[in-house]
Amino acid sequence: MALQQPQAGPLKGIVVADFSRVLAGPYATMLLADLGATVIKVEGPNGDDTRGWVPPKRGDVGTYYLSINRNKNSIKLNLKDPDDLDTAYAIIDRADVLIDNFRVGSLDKFGLDPETVRKRWPELIHAKITGFGSRAGAQLPGYDMLIQASSGFMSMTGSPDGPPQKAGYAFIDVLTGLHTTVGILASLLRRERFGGGGETIRTNLLSAALSSMVNMTSAAVASDAEMTRTGNDHPSIFPYGPFPAKDRELVICVGNNKQFATLVNGLGSPELADDPRFATNEQRNANREELRPILTELLASKNADEWIDLFRAKGLPIAPILSVREAIGFADDLELEPVVEITTKDGTDRVPFVSNPLDMSSGGITYTKAAPGLDEDRGDVLEWIAQTPAK
């Protein structure tokens, strides 16, 4: 079989040498592959760590690995071996983009540090992901939970009277992957429109976290407000969060006075909209502990699904609290097509993946190859090198 090179998508013909592993980098390169780029995943002798992050798994492979490595070609290389290092160079010779998330300095001995890369491959876009940047924090390891702790995120998460909490998944890695993808796409467009060759793009998990915490970090730098944990409450809006109905909790989001009037009318207490304690968002926020038990008592008269049906018909933002599996079913009910099945290279299995969220009228998203086995595409990559001139 030939090397997997998508025949459609806005990035058709763009080649990405993917020297990243675990999450932030592989997520970025999967997005590029979904958009039509040819991605060659260069793995060390033991493969990407996430292959063995189990449970859960499908067959012998961790679903963690599967979630971020579709549409790629895998080759196993030991950069300490001169022949393998030459193969790595040959891949980069033919690439438009190089991406890695090794600790600063780790690749210097192989001539793959940003400065050497810029000199040897001046047309190459080199995206470098680190945990804490390439200066004073260069030697700090970049695990997502470390960033959740040191970015202030955990200090903001959890119950006010409880300990700091992490998020349920490694979201800072994902956000960093998204930022990296934006940078790569911008650099590709700049190169096409204005020339100027390649460049080095540096992203780090801490800066991505601080940028993505938006109103929280803005409050820290632009005001004297004290940032504290508010649990499931919003610090600036009320009611905005989970509330118990007769059978289970649901989430209500009231962002303005009109929505509050819709809520209390539906609950059978329209006078609350004119109550001076609750007439504006600022008043509701200041008197939330008076309003909360009133709403709780009113909501206890019906089951969650009854309230959801009633308020959705009125246009009020309301939702059930679903499990992940239920959420996928809900997205399917909404015709969002949340799952796509992709055939493995050997044709023996069709593996389900969560779809790319982009819906492009040009049909720009492609699904052509399930996440590869370790070194699955070695022969195809070597053949591609032999048949493809260096850029």
Report the pLDDT value the prediction gives residue 1, as an integer from 0 to 100.
Answer: 61
Supply 231's token pair. 């649990």
How many helices (H) and strands (E) in the chain?
14, 13
Does residue 287 fall inside a structural domain?
yes
Q: What is the dihedral of CA 43, 49, 50, 52, to 10 degrees?
A: 110
Does residue 339 fall inside a structural domain?
no
> Looking at the 3D structure of the chain, how many domains does it have?
2
Report the pLDDT value the prediction gives residue 226, as an integer from 0 to 100.
Answer: 83
Percent of the chain with pLDDT over 70: 100
Both 123 and 257 in one domain: the answer is no
Supply 106's token pair. 């780790």
pLDDT single digits (tens) 235-260: 889 999 999 999 999 999 999 999 99
Q: What is the mean pLDDT of residues 116-138?
A: 96
Residue type, 378: R
Higher-pLDDT residue of 189, 3 = 189
Compute the distance between CA of residue 359 and CA of residue 376 in angstroms, rounded to an integer. Answer: 30
Both 145 and 181 in one domain: the answer is yes
Does residue 171 fall inside a structural domain?
yes
CB burial string 301-312: b at 16+ within 10 A, e below: ebebeebbeebe
pLDDT single digits (tens) 154-186: 999 999 999 999 999 999 999 999 999 999 999
Q: Are 147 and 179 in contact (CB under 8 A)?
A: no
Report the pLDDT value the prediction gives residue 218, as an integer from 0 to 100.
Answer: 95
Residue at which a domain ends, from 310, 328, 346: 328
Question: Is the per-residue pLDDT at 3 higher than 90?
Answer: no
Q: Which of 46, 45, 44, 48 is nearest to 29 (CA)?
A: 48
Instruction: Report residue 359's pLDDT band, with 50, 70 and 90 as the boundaries.
Output: very high
The secondary structure element, H or E, covering residue 258 is helix 257-266
**Catalytic residue ranges:** 173
Both 263 and 150 in one domain: the answer is no
Sign of the alpha-carbon dihedral angle for 59, 64, 65, 67: positive
Range of the domain at 177: 15-223+360-387
CB atoms < 10 A from the CB of 53, how many? 15
Q: Is the peptide bond before 239 cis (omega within 30 degrees of 0)?
A: yes
Compute the distance between CA of residue 74 and CA of residue 279 in angstroms, rounded to an integer. Answer: 60
What's this model's pTM, rounded to 2 decimal places? 0.93
CB atoms < 10 A from the CB of 143, how many? 16
Residue at which a domain ends, from 284, 313, 328: 328
Q: Is 170 exposed, middle or buried (0-12, 13-18, 19+ CB in 10 A)?
A: buried
Both 115 and 260 in one domain: the answer is no
Does residue 190 fall inside a structural domain?
yes
Residue at which a domain ends, from 283, 312, 328: 328
Both 204 and 313 in one domain: the answer is no
Both 307 and 378 in one domain: the answer is no
Does residue 175 fall inside a structural domain?
yes
Report the pLDDT value the prediction gives residue 350, as an integer from 0 to 100.
Answer: 95
Question: Is the per-residue pLDDT at 379 higher than 80?
Answer: yes
Q: What is the mean pLDDT of residues 299-318?
A: 98
Both 273 and 180 in one domain: the answer is no
Sign of the alpha-carbon dihedral angle for 97, 47, 179, 57: positive
Cα angle, residue 126 at apex, residues 67 and 175 outer, rounded to 5° = 40
Please spell the DSSP secondary structure of 265-279, one letter per residue.
HHTT-GGGGG-TTTS
Supply 52's token pair. 């063995």
Percent of the chain with pLDDT over 90: 94
CATH of the domain at 285: 3.30.1540.10
Report the pLDDT value the prediction gives residue 144, as an integer from 0 to 100.
Answer: 96
The rounded mean pLDDT for the chain is 96
Q: How many CA atoms lie within 13 A of 78 on its CB side?
A: 6
Does residue 118 fall inside a structural domain?
yes
Both 69 and 158 in one domain: the answer is yes
Report the pLDDT value the prediction gives residue 5, as an integer from 0 to 100.
Answer: 84
Does residue 235 fall inside a structural domain?
no
CB atoms < 10 A from the CB of 314, how many? 12
Supply 262's token pair. 């819709």
Both 105 and 245 in one domain: the answer is no
Both 249 and 207 in one domain: the answer is no
Q: What contacts 29, CB < 8 A, 6 or more positions away? A: 16, 18, 20, 37, 39, 41, 72, 99
Q: Which has the minimum average pLDDT: 1-5, 10-14, 43-47, 208-212?
A: 1-5
Report the pLDDT value the prediction gives residue 95, as an integer from 0 to 100.
Answer: 98
CATH of the domain at 43: 3.40.50.10540
Both 69 and 163 in one domain: the answer is yes
Report the pLDDT value the prediction gives residue 316, as an integer from 0 to 100.
Answer: 98
Both 142 and 253 in one domain: the answer is no
Does residue 334 fall inside a structural domain?
no
**CA–CA distances in Å: residue 279 to residues 180, 283, 337, 353:** 44, 6, 41, 47
User: How far does the chain reach from its first CA to its final CA, in angstroms?
Assistant: 24
Please spell the DSSP secondary structure of 16-72, one letter per residue.
EEE---SSHHHHHHHHHHHTT-EEEEEE-TT--GGGG--SSEETTEEHHHHTT-TTE
Q: What is the mean pLDDT of residues 106-128?
A: 97
